[in-house]
Amino acid sequence: MVMYFYDFHFFISQQNLLSIFNTYIKPLSSYSSLISLAKMSNNNFITSNIFLFSLHQFLLLVHAKPLVPALYVFGDSLFDSGNNNVLPTMARANFPPYGHNFVQHFTGRFTNGRTLPDFIAEFLELPYPPPYLGIHDSVPLTGLNYASSACGILPQTGTIFGKCLSLGEQIDLFKWTIESKLPTHFNSLEELSKHLADSIFIFTTGSNDYIQNYLEPTLFSTNHDYDPQSFAQLLIDDLSNHFQSVYKLGARKIIMHEIAPLGCIPHYTRKYQVVVGKCHEQTNQIVSYFNTKLHELLKSLTSSLQGSILVLARINSLGYDVITNPSKYGYSDASNPCCTTWGNGSAACIPLLEPCPNPNQHFFWDGYHNTETGNSVAASLCFNTSEFCTPFSIKDLIQI
């Protein structure tokens, strides 16, 4: 374990780690309170991101039991932590300036630092779920990340960039995991079933079915074949089947995020030359049909799938409020990406170019994705409040 302090390193032995834990950390009531304390301290002597990462790994060493058995992650580039690195695709983030503020630097995360699942893992006192395609040895029992950039609910979404894992393919890989990999770690199928039932499953998907499909009528026919309401229903029907599949495989506590207000991201505000601080509301309206139907779907599945809890993460309204009222959340800029991108601010970061000097004062990292501060806010709300993650926060799910 190495803790970094400005220009010199401390190499701390196992014995000293335990001494530090007993003296300074054990008196604190919980890991979550310690993380909150570190974030509020604003100590310029320790680089905050490296400190928090080191602290996270330190507590995993000395704290024996996480709050849930595992965190399983599914979705797109908002959650991808490196699966696309090994796929033949242009949709990758394994180069700087991506990972600019992440302790391991450019891992394949499409942001400057941690993703939303990374923050959730910290709250749950779990390691960051590693990308499934990067696992070469035994499968960890603490969770895996199956998310794949550019892909979505529909199989054809994202294929213009190369190969990615659609939601159906991600669930197939999860099925392979629990049928061929996990059973060897448990004494019985009942133990495995309990492990899965007590774990958290987190999803974000659907954005690319609009960005890389429906809203690209010159590349795909869906815009001509479906009106916005019918296309939303097509996605919801497929999504329903996927949720029923993970339920049959053992998932019981499922969190699904709304699609964010896509009309507010730089990709569309630049395309339609929207005034700073405003959004392209026609795009937002098209996406709203999906979100409305998503609310209804999660309620319906919770009623019909015995023992299941499907939680809605209200990311759309939060994102819209941040973008239209940035100062309320401490941002100086919620319109322009921090990194220099292709397409004049509307696409991915150009490799190797230095980003803006103050990433966490920007809401957007590139033309599509936010900086880690937005991920931190959303993760904290989902963990702590049932108004954001409804009808149950993650804290509530842990107790159920």
Q: Say which DSSP state 269 is in.
A: H
Catalytic-labelled residue, pool 54, 77, 81, 149: 77
Asked whether the beta carbons of 259 and 289 are under 8 A apart, the reply is no
Asked whether the beta carbons of 261 and 287 are under 8 A apart, the reply is yes
| 7 among known catalytic residues | no
* CA-based nearest residue to 228, from 216, 214, 217: 214
* CA-based nearest residue to 155, from 143, 164, 144, 146: 164
9 strand-pairing partners: 4
* CA-based nearest residue to 87, from 175, 23, 173: 173
Catalytic-labelled residue, pool 100, 195, 280, 369: 369
| 105 among known catalytic residues | no
**Structure tokens, 349:** 């970061």
**CA pair distance 210, 64, nearest whole angstrom:** 43
Catalytic-labelled residue, pool 308, 335, 366, 380: 366
| 76 among known catalytic residues | no
List CB contacts of 120: < 8 A, sequence separation 6 or more: 71, 200, 202, 379, 382, 383, 394
Neighbours of 308 (CB within 10 A): 19
**CA pair distance 312, 318, nearest whole angstrom:** 13
Q: Say which DSSP state 167 is in.
A: H
**CA pair distance 132, 70, nearest whole angstrom:** 14
* CA-based nearest residue to 192, from 172, 170, 177, 173: 177
Query: Which positions are catalytic?
Result: 77, 366, 369
